Structure 1
Amino acid sequence: MGNLTEARKKKKQSYRGEKTKDPEYKPDKNDETDDECQSDDEAEKNCKKQIVAEKKIIELFEICRHEGCGARVLVDDIQVVYHGQYMRVTQHCASCKNEDFVWETNKLVKGRLSETSLDLIIESQCNGLGTSQMVDFMDGINTRNLSRRTWNMVEQTYLYPSIIEVYRHTENKNRKKCVKKHKGEKITLAGDGRYDSAGFSSFYCLYLVLCCMTNKVLGFQLETKQPGKGSASMEPVAAKKVLGELVTENMRIGMFVSDRCTNIGKVITEIEEKSNTSITLEYDVWHLVKSLLKEIRHVTELQPWMETIKNFLWFSFNKAEGNYERLLEYLRAIPNHLVGVHSFPENRYLKRCPHSSDYSPEDKMFLKPNSRGVNRLNNILSNERMLEALKKATHFKHTGLVEMVNSLVTKYAPKRKITLTILNFYGHRAMTAKVCCALLSHNENINRDIIMGEDGTPKLEIKKQRHGPPRGRVVRVPSTRFWIYWVKKRCMKQVKNGNASPIEGITEEKRMETQKLKDEIYAKHQSRYARQTEVEKEKQDFEEETDNDEDDVLNCFNSSDVYYTGEGEDDFSQDLSSDEDYFF
């Protein structure tokens, strides 16, 4: 580690151009040395930042900052301008005749965009923090910030193109190094697809291709869902595109490791015809073991032996060494092991079980031959479809590293966030940039050195597992973030030069269509609370109409146009009493 630190110091000194160490170098008195300029820039770059209340800053300018004055300055003579994280204070002193004193928190890169604001946007995206999260965080601590619109504009026009450009540059370098290092040899690649959401409603499919020899990602393809086609059709299309790019760059692919996707075999056949080479398709062992254990787990008689069966499966795939017959002999020995038969003299490769001769199971009994559990296990291992899959799983290859990269992509583009709605979703450029961030971080830190202990053994750390006992894991050197430095450098250059990329997919026609769609949705939108309000309003209108009818009836009886006025009421009562006998 000491030698590595000294080498880095020497390399850093060579970058700074320390000309004073050259005995023949004589600096010009009229010119500034590069050391002075670069030391000032580095000092400003490495300067720590603090969050300070605006009131405390303005209090410092209530006294004239010009040398030799020190007079009191009225608050009205202090002008403050804010642009996000940028703050400029202009102080006018009436006592002295000097010019206005101007102080600013940081430099403006372009227009109203400051260096601190640009650093905040870059660091938030390169560390997997979304725009909404950062804006809400800044609002929560009551700190001035750029608007969401400005934030998104900077990301779309400057940051995302810079991230993609930096990744494409490193991707080309990794491909050339891989071809040069394994010149004349066939390369083993591994690939797997990742959908942006669970279920069958995905809009994006990311397909990664990784070199199993260098452990670095050599290419990816982000495919979008086509109208009239399902989500499952995106994976083979993406795999064909990225593998086609690698073949055109004279990369000799000897083996390709994938999961048990049925369409990948067809893609490999097309690539073979295009490149006139033979590519071996190998299935990932973990997916096969998982598929076998899923069926075995439903057999009640085999439940006590699940851990033994799982260990024997991994042992069998590891010992296959590219031989299909050897793999079958090891797998067929599992049912014999469960019934207490540990010697197989008729076999060619496995003569006996690898355990000791005095082996005895703990807390479980051997099964009986031809029992239901043993017969069921034999049927699972001798299934025709499974036997065909086992022919492509004899080299003990994995796609676990690709799954790790997919997990890292989730940090930058989480699936828990709604990635597709009617009018708002990750654009293709934004999704590509988020994927590039994950791949840049992976390629830079995948081959880190292992920290060794004092006794010369690797240092371990205890990690708890979701299922099972804790296990040890080797400790590696802390990860680096040099790729973020190059993204910053490129983005700063783009902003200063004004090389803004047009926002993807935003045209006048598209804008009008979006606005029209918004108006239609807003017109048709009705929440359950709105519907409840309408029902209450109809009920209120009905009650008001009923009250009006009652009032009309009462007014009718009280009006002068009514025929009954009460005159002759006594005569009417006498008539009723006279007719009472007739009715009753």
Structure 2
Amino acid sequence: MELIMETYEKSVAEPEDTMTDQEVIPVQESCALPAACAKPEVQRVWKKEQMELFAVLMTEDRKLVLGGDGRADSPGHSAKYGTYTALELPSNVIIDIQQVQSTECGGSYHMELEGLRRSVAAVEEEGLSIGTIITDRHRQIAKWIRTELPEVQHLYDIWHVAKGISRKLESLAKQKECDAIKPWIRSVVNHLYWSAVSTESGHGDLVAEKWMSVINHIQNVHEGHGDLYPSCSHAALETRADQKKWIQPSTKVAVKVEQIVGRKMLVNDIKKLSGQHQTSCIEAFHSLLKQFAPNMLVFSYLAMQSRVTLAAMHYNENPGRPQAETKEGQLRFKIRYPKFKKGGFTVCKENPHMVSGKYWV
């Protein structure tokens, strides 16, 4: 167990420290050590914890809501390993994690689907029933769930859809006579979130009509949207000096925006947006995973598997942490500047520092 602790401590070291260590220990030896010696014990502890998680979920007498996403060991389309994470969203715990090598499935593009197949098989083998799977818009995965798991509800994470819309609108704003859409981009993306979150699950057509109403709204038309959502929900708008200028109907930018917003494939995907659960927690795990298995380093199959498993156990040790408080007992918040906000900020709850250590007893 001491060896596992040493492996773990080295995994979470700062990148600078890791590189310094490798000046003394050859890379091949530093990768082979945890793979050859620590892997059996790491996998034994993970399997034990996984069975305990399955047992708890069995007692809850409900269908699982799984969030799934893949992470390649290197950017681009030539990754060697892919890690697929299956996270039970209401519980915020990783219940299965699969590592796939590109040679096992005919190329790196197919690794994510293969990882999902294995995770679903592992969960169903234990007698658990899956009710909903939430993923990004991976077309192979969508087809596989539709044909192989017809009884399972497949929904999409909002952020992945919003990211694509934002990119298209930003590209449009750079075109001639189309810069009028630039001040509206954030509002359009926020409207997408509102359309999904404000609608009960199972009412995809209503979500789509709410979304399409943004075309009229940015042209200062707030009624006559559709049968399910005939008029905007906001109160009467007051004229302000800093108010965004309305898009003029039938102009080039208005036509282009309608083509982007109303694209048939996009609207069909928006009908399947998840309003209750998102996969942001998996993105957080992938960020944590960089400390255990940095993309800038190359690992063997066994070493990568051990590091990914350690990261999953570390994540599962810290769900549901209470919000940090000041000495006076007031809840603490902090400001973050996510890269995707491009200089914008977001206010987040501040949690106590992550704990780790129960596996080393």
Taking structure 2 as the reference length, the TM-score comes to 0.86
Residues 163-198 of structure 1 show CA distances to partners (whole Å, capped at 9, x for unaligned) of 2221221122112212212x1x22210101111111
Residues 343-366 of structure 1 show CA distances to partners (whole Å, capped at 9, x for unaligned) of 448644453342444254725422
Query: Displacement, 1:436?
Result: 0.9
Worse overlay, 236-245 or 147-156:
147-156
Correspondence for 1:411 among 265, 282, 291: 291
Residue correspondence of structure 1 range 156-555 to structure 2 within 5 A:
156-181=35-60, 183=61, 185-226=62-103, 229-269=106-146, 271-272=148-149, 278-299=151-172, 300=178, 301-322=180-201, 323-344=203-224, 347-349=227-229, 351-360=231-240, 362=242, 364-393=244-273, 395-417=275-297, 419=298, 426-453=299-326, 457-466=330-339, 467-486=342-361
On the 8 A contact 1:282/1:395 being kept in 2, the answer is no
Pair 178,134 (structure 1): closer, same or farther in 2 beyond 3 Å: farther
Provide the alpha-carbon RMSD of the alignment: 2.9
**Secondary structure at the residue paired with 1:202?**
coil
Pair 154,237 (structure 1): closer, same or farther in 2 beyond 3 Å: closer
Give distance in 2, aligned partners of 1:266 and 1:211: 22
On the 8 A contact 2:70/2:84 being kept in 1, the answer is yes
On the 8 A contact 1:259/1:283 being kept in 2, the answer is yes
Give distance in 1, aligned partners of 2:244 and 2:305: 53
What is the aligned length?
351
Give distance in 1, aligned partners of 2:231 and 2:330: 36
Residue 122 (str. 1) matches residue 7 (str. 2): yes
Give distance in 1, aligned partners of 2:118 and 2:312: 18
Residue 536 of structure 1 is matched in structure 2 by none
**Secondary structure at the residue paired with 2:68?**
strand
Pair 364,395 (structure 1): closer, same or farther in 2 beyond 3 Å: closer
Give distance in 1, aligned partners of 2:80 and 2:247: 50
Query: Displacement, 1:454?
Result: 6.2
On the 8 A contact 1:327/1:394 being kept in 2, the answer is no
Letter in 2 for 1:254: G
Give distance in 1, aligned partners of 2:171 and 2:242: 22
Residues 198-255 of structure 1 show CA distances to partners (whole Å, capped at 9, x for unaligned) of 1121111111100011000000110112279321022211210111110111111110
On the 8 A contact 2:324/2:331 being kept in 1, the answer is yes
**Secondary structure at the residue paired with 1:297?**
helix
Letter in 2 for 1:327: V
Give distance in 2, aligned partners of 1:222 and 1:437: 13
Letter in 2 for 1:180: T
Residue 37 of structure 1 is matched in structure 2 by none
Letter in 1 for 2:77: F
Pair 405,337 (structure 1): closer, same or farther in 2 beyond 3 Å: same
Query: Displacement, 1:148?
Result: 7.9
**Structure 2: 5+ residue stretches without partners:** 173-177
**Structure 1: 5+ residue stretches without partners:** 1-108, 110-114, 140-145, 420-425, 487-584
User: Which entry has the higher C-alpha Rg, 1 or 2?
Assistant: 1
Letter in 2 for 1:170: E
**Secondary structure at the residue paired with 2:267?**
helix
Give distance in 1, aligned partners of 2:71 and 2:28: 30
Give distance in 2, aligned partners of 1:415 and 1:123: 17
- Structure number with greater CO (CA < 8 Å, separation at least 6) is 2
Worse overlay, 262-271 or 190-199:
262-271
Letter in 2 for 1:472: V
Give distance in 2, aligned partners of 1:346 and 1:164: 55
On the 8 A contact 1:324/1:394 being kept in 2, the answer is no
Letter in 1 for 2:360: Y
Letter in 2 for 1:124: E
Give distance in 2, aligned partners of 1:126 and 1:465: 25
Query: Displacement, 1:311?
Result: 2.0
**Secondary structure at the residue paired with 2:317?**
helix
Pair 149,395 (structure 1): closer, same or farther in 2 beyond 3 Å: closer
Pair 285,359 (structure 1): closer, same or farther in 2 beyond 3 Å: farther
Pair 159,392 (structure 1): closer, same or farther in 2 beyond 3 Å: same
Give distance in 2, aligned partners of 1:345 and 1:135: 63
Taking structure 1 as the reference length, the TM-score comes to 0.55
Give distance in 1, aligned partners of 2:209 and 2:300: 52
Letter in 2 for 1:282: L
On the 8 A contact 2:46/2:313 being kept in 1, the answer is yes
Pair 228,452 (structure 1): closer, same or farther in 2 beyond 3 Å: closer
**Secondary structure at the residue paired with 2:74?**
coil
- Identical residues among aligned pairs (%): 20
Query: Displacement, 1:304?
Result: 2.5
Query: Displacement, 1:389?
Result: 1.5
Query: Displacement, 1:266?
Result: 3.4
